[in-house]
Amino acid sequence: MPLIRIKKSWEIPETKITPETTYLNRRRFMKSLIGVGLSATALSTLTSCGRNSKTSLTSEAVTLPMTGKFTINPNFSEVDRPITDEALATKYNNFYEFGGNKSIWQAAQALPTENWKVEVKGLVKNPRIYDIDELQKKFPLEERIYRFRCVEAWAMVIPWLGFPMKLLMADVEPTSKAKYVRFTSFYDAEITKGPGFWANGYPWPYTEGLRIDEMANELAFFAVGMYGKSLPKQNGAPLRQVIPWKYGFKGAKSIVKIEFIESRPATFWNTLVPNEYAFEANVNPNVPHPRWSQATEKVLSEGASWSWEKIPTLPYNGYGEYVASLYS
């Protein structure tokens, strides 16, 4: 009897997947934009937490070294749309510690990543302080191609490098009292100055949180790289969360502390604007943001021109078969 394989919701034919050699090479297609005068920048009209944002894209991605050995996870080796160009994914970013618009990549280079430590504490049997190099050696690195969905209703597809969060959980062994996890990002008032005078009164450092069963889910991922290279500073180097079924603000960048706790933690955006940034923050086309619909999203396309294709938003960003049971 022949074996019938039913394709997953995110899969497309292999012939339509961007070749590995394509996204591992730095792009030069942005040079073609020089003559358009940025008239195509619908990007700049998108809001970043309520304010207009503008982007400053250059012809190439940030130059970074290749990572060490990694495997390609066959379960997450393709999605239903092209991989976002590396230059765009590394130059169109939210990182509020370095500013309130999308052009923070230059300011983010001030982030000091040398001798990076990550403290894991709280309700665990084996509290640890990991060196970032130790993390990358202790947990085998793999590549996963995930959809990325921002709460601002734009989307990308990114090949992340990292390891499942559940591996770190197994190493530190949370106790039965641990119900939530809090992630804390790097903060130094002299370096991470925030978005100008808007930074005053913000609940720094940036924190995010998950339920412990969400962290243990197969999809939950710690990224240390992207596009086969080390993680750029503006993308959250040297360690960031990637939670593909949730809006992007749930992914804390430049993590320095992970705490296993009993009660739901206060988090950055949920503390500031709880009606706009829910703690759960699962991608849901049926729950609009107070200022825009989430029923559709604009996808930053791969290729020689950057345009935003508007498509329907998928519940849980298309990963419902992995996570829907968590919320039943």
Q: What is the pLDDT of residues 222-274, one digit of tens each?
A: 999 999 999 999 999 999 999 999 999 999 999 999 999 999 999 999 999 99
Cα separation, 47 vs 274, whole angstroms: 17
Every domain of the chain and the residues it spans: 85-326
CB 228 within 8 A of CB 72: no
Q: 239-264 burial, b for 16+ CB within 10 Å, e for fewer?
A: bbbbbbbbbbbbbbbbbbbbbbbeee
Look at phi and psi of residue 20 and say left if phi exceeds 0, alpha if psi is from -120 to 50, else beta.
alpha
Look up residue 206 and give its two tokens: 């940036």
How many Cβ atoms sit within 10 Å of the Cβ of residue 192?
Answer: 23
Is pLDDT of 11 > 80? Answer: no
Cα separation, 16 vs 319, whole angstroms: 20
Q: Specify the pTM.
A: 0.81
Q: pLDDT at position 301, please?
A: 63
Average pLDDT score over residue span 123-142: 96
User: Residue 72 half-sphere exposure, CB side, CA atoms within 13 Å?
Assistant: 8
Look up residue 184 and give its two tokens: 């804390």
Q: pLDDT at position 200, please?
A: 75
Confidence of residue 42 (pLDDT cuts 50, 70, 90): very low
Whether CATH 3.40.1280.10 fits 85-326 = no
Cβ-based burial of 176 (10 A; exposed 0-12, middle 13-18, buried ≥19): exposed
Is pLDDT of 27 > 80? Answer: no
Is pLDDT of 132 > 90? Answer: yes
Query: Is residue 301 helix, strand or coil?
Result: coil
Higher pLDDT, 29 or 315: 315
Contacts of 35 (CB under 8 A, 6+ apart): none
Higher pLDDT, 56 or 82: 82
Tell me the per-residue pLDDT of 149-164, one tens digit each, with 9 for 90 and over: 999 999 999 999 999 9
Is pLDDT of 307 > 80? Answer: no
